[in-house]
Structure 1
Amino acid sequence: RKVNLLEATLDQIATLTDIYSAYTTLDCEFETGNMQTLFGEMSEEDKRTYNFDVNRINWPEYVQEIHIPGLKRHVLKIG
């Protein structure tokens, strides 16, 4: 049983390594200027209806609380 658990854990680590290894060497910066311009030109009513103000996204929180748990649940099927 311990061997199976260890094997499953190693498989998960290998999968995560495959998914994220490319990101460890990238130096990317996402451009949001067009989104900000579009949002700035919208009426107040549309801003409330289609709230996609990228300046309000807390990226560390998003990655830790939404993105990673979503990957674990839906891609890796753990948790």
Structure 2
Amino acid sequence: MKSPNVWTKQRPDNTWQAKREGASRASGVFRTQAEAWDKSREIAKREGGEAFLCNRGGQIRERNTYTGHDPRDIQG
């Protein structure tokens, strides 16, 4: 079963990819980080997963959860 988590990361050729966790190939390769991030969020929304955005250094910069359950328990 495919993981519904999708990662946006920079590739060695300086393009950006949207790739499902555990997949052997990218779901899409884009010229800009913004285009790849849009695709990652679209896939995660459709499949009920999480979208992760990594900066150029590979660290998670942002993440969005689309599972219907927000792990944060903050009131207000």
Compute the TM-score of the two structures, normalised by the length of structure 2: 0.27
Determine which structure has more spread, i.e. the larger CA radius of gyration: 1
Relative to its length, the structure with more helix (as a share) is: 1
Relative to its length, the structure with more strand (as a share) is: 2
